[in-house]
Amino acid sequence: MQDLNQIVNGQKLFQKPEYQEVLKGKKEFEGMPSCDKISEVSDWTKSWDYREKNLAREGITINPAKACQPLGAVYAALGFANTMPYVHGSHGCTAYFRTYFTRHFKEPTPVVSDSMTEDAAVFGGLKNMVDGLQNCLEMYKPEMIAVSTTCMAEVIGDDLQAFIGNAREAGAIPEDFAVPYAHTPSFVGSHITGYENMMFSMITQMGVAGEKTDRINLLPGFETYIGSIREVKKMAEMFGPIVTLGDVSEQWDMPAGNYQMFAGGTTVADLKDSINSKGTISLQKYASKKIMKTLKNKYKQETHVSNPIGLKGTDEFVMGLSKLTGKAVPAELTVARGRLVDAMQDSYPYMHDKKFAIWGDPDFLLGMVSFLIEMGAEPTHVLCHNAPDGWEAEMRALLDTCPAKDACHVWAGKDLWHMRSFLFTEPVDFMIGNSYGKELERDTGTPLIRIGFPIFDRHHMHRYSIHGYEGGINLLSWIVNKVLDKLDDETKQTAKTDYFFDLVR
């Protein structure tokens, strides 16, 4: 057991003899098959035969590459100043959202719940809502409470608009207190859907019509790289005044010794005035379709969608800013672009013809695959579990611009257990994805480059940018250095494989 004079972590603790004995007994009690049988089945799961059976399954998801709607709604809410995300549902769901974000950002995540239980599931959650809103307001003193739902509330049909109205009538919250809300059932869509539903509600429910302004709204989307948000803000501000709708760059990056319940974020005043802006630029097409359509048609804004990952995507973002503002591209951005092009030229020989498997959110994948193609790489397997309508065709069209297009596959709606079959039957050189690819790396031996969300098992990745010209250099550095790491690893045997083990690259 643990020794008080030498506390060890779980990894070493469970190697101790007494724990190994417990594990041995557990295997015997559960009737675990023999090692030979396990090896036999394991080898079969690497075959084309198993792959076809794996692709045919419909009733189960294994290792999903997505999260649920309310998680995205919580993210959207935390991008606004002094705003408390409020989840109408069970406490367990809310704990999951807090834990998910805290493990990725290594920062506390404020979220409250009205803790629905079995009684609420039978009789409805109105009482929970009335008490919960009152407690939230009195205890945390937010300027705005953003309400979303979980499966339980949606299955029993709770009406947020009616419930919030009843809470006002009961005096739980003032009549003029801001409580935007969105229905975000976990059993459909993903965190991207929940983000858009909540953001759409906040813009349309809180917007106050007034005189048109010259400002531009910047809509980052569900962006979990703090550095990316700061980078695109810096670039946009070179062209004039902007409003970042949902700025989480301070909430999840507070300095030590200065923790606050709420930090930074778009002000409620700017949120209310956002519908009067001249135009809006969205950086994630599939996380903002409904929003952008409404801003264009109802609020008569100029709209532009670009995905500033890699050279082409960042160029489109910069030119979109120039067009909306009528201003020339600043010299500083021209210099930054040149530096990225120079870095790409340096690294191109090492990435050319390398095969990649990649998974993640729809807009992230479009940007990253475009960047890989720019570098002469082959995106062999592109998997998007939460692929929206139209995404698969758009990705296919992008892959068709790759010289190796016939060997590039799009896997919409598939999970990471499907990816395992692809890696065994059609191997690649590297994987790009989140921390859930760790088991794939161990199982298949394919090196994992951790880019995406969530990143649980590495620190500080979220502090960097993957957007803009600076972000392009970061991506290039992570990817090409992994390629060089593998090259070093493959040239370790003296006089056998060390012929290209050089220090000048």
pLDDT in tens, 251-293: 999 999 888 999 999 999 999 999 999 999 999 999 999 999 9
For 162-203, write each residue's pLDDT tens digit.
999 999 999 999 999 999 999 999 999 999 999 999 999 999
- Please say if the pLDDT value at position 54 is more than 80: yes
Q: Domain for residue 393, yes or no? A: yes
pLDDT band for position 401 (cuts 50, 70, 90)? very high
The last residue of one of the domains, among 206, 233, 264, is 206
CA 162 distance to own-chain centroid:
32
- d(Cα 407, Cα 378) in Å, to the nearest integer? 8
Same domain, 263 and 368: no
The answer to whether residues 266 and 220 belong to one domain is: yes
Average pLDDT over residues 34-55: 94
pLDDT of the residue at 243: 97
Question: Does some domain include residue 17?
Answer: no
Q: Are residues 221 and 111 in the same domain?
A: no
Q: pLDDT-derived band of residue 505, with 50, 70 and 90 as boundaries? A: low
Residue 418 belongs to some domain of the structure: yes
pLDDT in tens, 190-243: 999 999 999 999 999 999 999 999 999 999 999 999 999 999 999 999 999 999
Find the angle CA(214)-CA(224)-CA(292) to the nearest 5 degrees. 40
The residues annotated with a catalytic role in the active site are: 151, 155
The reply to whether 363 and 467 lie within a common domain is yes
Q: Which of 206, 235, 257 is the last residue of a domain?
A: 206
- DSSP label at 176? T
Packing angle of the helix pair 331-351, 310-325 (nearest 10 deg):
160
Structural domains in the chain (count): 3
Cis status of the peptide bond prior to 33, with omega within 30 of 0: no
Digit-coded pLDDT (tens) for 106-161: 999 999 999 998 888 787 899 999 999 999 999 999 999 999 999 989 999 999 99
Residue 300, in any domain of the structure: yes
Verify that 220 and 260 share a domain, yes or no.
yes
Task: Say whether both 164 and 105 belong to one domain.
Answer: yes
Same domain, 90 and 197: yes
Q: Is the pLDDT of residue 1 over 80?
A: no
pLDDT at residue 90 tops 70 = yes
As a whole-number percent, the residues of the chain with pLDDT over 70 amount to 99
Predicted local confidence at residue 18, as pLDDT: 86
In whole angstroms, what is the distance from residue 106 CA to residue 104 CA? 6
Q: Are 280 and 214 in contact (CB under 8 A)?
A: no
Residue 328 lies in a domain: yes
- How far apart are the C-alpha atoms of 312 and 304, rounded to whole Å? 15
Mean pLDDT, rounded, for 28-49: 91
Q: What is the DSSP string of 316-382?
A: HHHHHHHHHHT-PPPHHHHHHHHHHHHHHHHHHHHHTT-EEEEE--HHHHHHHHHHHHHTT-EEEEE
pTM for this predicted structure: 0.93
- Residues 87 and 113: their CA atoms lie apart, in Å, by 5
Q: What is the CATH number of the domain that holds 385?
A: 3.40.50.1980
Average pLDDT rounded to a whole number, residues 75-82: 98
Verify that 485 and 353 share a domain, yes or no: yes
* 137 within some domain: yes
Q: Residue 314: give the domain boundaries.
A: 216-333
Residues 400 and 421 in one domain: yes
- My answer on whether 177 and 228 are in the same domain is no
Residue 37 within a domain: no
Assigned domain for 49 exists: no
pLDDT above 80 for 9: no
Mean pLDDT score across all residues of the chain: 95
368 shares its domain with 324: no
Residue finishing a domain among 206, 236, 270? 206
Max CA pair span of the chain: 83
Together in a domain, 187 and 232: no
What integer pLDDT is reported at residue 191 of this predicted model? 97
C-alpha 147, offset from chain centre: 21
